[in-house]
A and B are shown apart, each in its own frame.
Chain A
């Protein structure tokens, strides 16, 4: 009898810890989901303010500018219908070019400019982050 009790307690404990773990995992998952928006959706105010998201589109030809510090770049991302200015401090990936697709991750600041902390490039010949096309 005693062994059986212990077994039941163990199963219950295991079940509880599994459900707590699942709840924590789903919470972490939910918190770290990064949504992807196009400039049109941003213009339509569908993108969240103050939360990170990914912005995807084409880099407008001739829009790439470099600040005097040699590190901060400004460019415009468009989906042909709408466009958004992006500022990024850091080194752009190799495959970043005007007229090509790019995905930037960051937030919209109070000035309406998208401040990117990360600009993504292609990984291999087939793979691109979702949305660049």
Chain B
């Protein structure tokens, strides 16, 4: 009987053949108007999904059963590793994460083939064909340079463990979430390219790709928020965003994706900025691809990774230039034909949304500059450097302030033509409320202008949101408003909550790094921390030193915190497991450093982080808004109609 790894290998090859079929036949068929050729798209796509799913589960099975004859398993797992992390280790390596990526792409392909039966055949054939091209690229890359099923002969008795930093519940859910989002943009991309190939870009195109883009964006939002929370509690520094290239890689598609869902809405409702929307759809997916390869190719480790495995680097460059360059060329060729769409006045909802879009694009471009410039300079051997967080922070404060201001104006302004005096009249009160609120909310005696600006913007979003809702509700019932409208309100409120979190925690957090003797106390952020001492404890695959810290507020004990310093038994690597007490208005964060001497004293890091949880709560609100918009009647009835049409046929 063949081993699962062999079956997986075979399934990958089968998937590649199916993907090739899916990438060529339907597109040619659509060009020549042959419906039998076009029909290949659906079945090839669905069978490709089956094949990739088999490969994926074979790899997961190899991990679960500790089959160390597979190189990937031997390098990233260990028989001592708990089951959930053995499953997570499936996507813990370069090869495995590529397989997860391809699996997600196949999943989206299958979903598109299943839920687009009401669309014209040529559109479906082209969309699936474009997805097939991307899939072919990934499968080819995997099979030629990064095969997850490479065998190791003779098989070692046990594996080198999974990196202890990755042994965390975050690893189980974060990558799949993030990839669902990343890869989900491939659908919007495929719709855009299909429309460009067809040379027809109408309102229907925007209506079809809108829900797909929204799902992808929702997943990506969750994924990024989860990653941020994960690094907050696992890294032991108490930071929630580092402007690290890995994070930037996921943030760029998010920024462009956010612009895309807004411009798709305008294209659908008003038929305006068509070519801009197409460009955004191409950009969002291109950045997802770039991000995947940046993180996963080893380019980031050092550009010299190209030298260690030139095949990988060259393949990546070729693939990126074919997909990104090809779609941009197609765009340049066809954009004039697509047209700009309906005209609108300078003061109108369209132009507010367009300004917001441009701001988001500028933000994404500056992240791209900060991430790529050091890589390019290094590749050209001009020296080594990196862009520091202050660069990103400065840009974001500058770009996001007007963008957030426009969040308040856009939904209230009229389509096509709005008048400034009327807007000023309607928004005057909201603005006054925001200014007074931002100044009146007491925090500490210390006045921090940036915190006040953050509060002002947050209240502005909430106040204008309430104003818009009141306006809509005049003569209408609460339930009669579309779900999409509520989704927008919730997501915008999420932005307000994130802003409060970011500005307050940045302005008022306090941190102390110090050596503590058992019994010693220190005050941080109005809390007294008393270091009781340390004990030794054992986990499933690690041993740890566990400290006890008693926390007092106004002299009375409120809780005991237990930070740990773990040592992985297999690899000997140590890992700081910080103790965090989360609250609505503040987090307390205690991490152990190293033993200071033999007397039982330790170096510790104690942090007081006000409102930090609002950052993730806000992100969840945004994702909820996206999910709520997805349940909008229009999409649900579209599916029902589709079903009825099928039954009738």
The answer to whether residues A127 and B301 also contact, given A29-B370, A70-B603, A71-B514 and a CB cut-off of 8 A, is yes
> Which residues of A lie under 8 Å from residue B301 when comparing CB positions?
126-128, 133
Give the docked Cα–Cα distance between A66 and B515 (Å): 11
Q: Are A70 and B597 in contact (CB under 8 A)?
A: yes
Q: Are A91 and B246 in contact (CB under 8 A)?
A: no
Interface 1/0 per residue, B589-608 and A, CB below 8 Å: 00101101100011111000
Interface 1/0 per residue, B85-98 and A, CB below 8 Å: 00000001110000
Give the docked Cα–Cα distance between A95 and B568 (Å): 12
Within 8 A of B (CB), among A41-75: 52, 54, 66, 69-71
Task: Tell me whether B423 is interfacial, beta carbon within 8 Å.
Answer: no
Give the docked Cα–Cα distance between A3 and B491 (Å): 36
Q: Are B515 and A91 in contact (CB under 8 A)?
A: no
Task: Tell me whether B450 is interfacial, beta carbon within 8 Å.
Answer: no
Give the docked Cα–Cα distance between A34 and B386 (Å): 5
Task: Tell me whether A21 is interfacial, beta carbon within 8 Å.
Answer: yes
Q: Are A70 and B387 in contact (CB under 8 A)?
A: no
> Which residues of B lie under 8 Å from residue A69 when comparing CB positions?
514-515
Report which of B166, B390, B591, B594 forms a contact with A32, defined as CB distance below 8 A: B390
Chain B residue at smallest Cβ distance from A103: B386
Most buried by B among A10, A34, A91, A125: A91
Within 8 A of A (CB), among B176-208: none
Chain B residue at smallest Cβ distance from A89: B513
Report which of A29, A54, A91 forms a contact with B593, defined as CB distance below 8 A: A91
Segment from B216-224, B281-289, B478-486, B573-581 that makes contact with A: B573-581
The answer to whether residues A131 and B302 also contact, given A25-B366, A34-B387 and a CB cut-off of 8 A, is yes
Interface 1/0 per residue, A95-133 and B, CB below 8 Å: 100000000000000000000000000111111111101
A122: shortest Cβ distance to chain B, in Å? 8
Give the docked Cα–Cα distance between A33 and B391 (Å): 8
Within 8 A of A (CB), among B360-389: 362, 366, 369-370, 373-374, 378, 383-389
Q: Are B166 and A24 in contact (CB under 8 A)?
A: no
Q: Are A130 and B362 in contact (CB under 8 A)?
A: no
Q: Are B346 and A10 in contact (CB under 8 A)?
A: yes
Q: Residues of B with Cβ closer than 8 Å to A?
A: 76, 92-94, 163, 165-166, 236, 244-246, 295-296, 298, 300-302, 304, 346, 362, 366, 369-370, 373-374, 378, 383-391, 394-395, 398-399, 513-515, 573-576, 591, 593-594, 596-597, 601-605
Cβ contacts A to B, 22 pairs, < 8 Å: A10-B346, A21-B362, A21-B399, A29-B366, A31-B391, A32-B387, A32-B391, A33-B385, A34-B386, A34-B387, A35-B385, A66-B597, A69-B515, A71-B513, A71-B514, A71-B596, A124-B166, A126-B301, A129-B386, A130-B378, A130-B384, A133-B302
Sample of 14 more A-B contacts, CB < 8 Å, known A25-B395, A130-B386: A6-B346, A33-B387, A33-B391, A34-B386, A37-B384, A71-B514, A71-B515, A71-B603, A90-B605, A91-B604, A94-B574, A125-B93, A126-B296, A127-B300
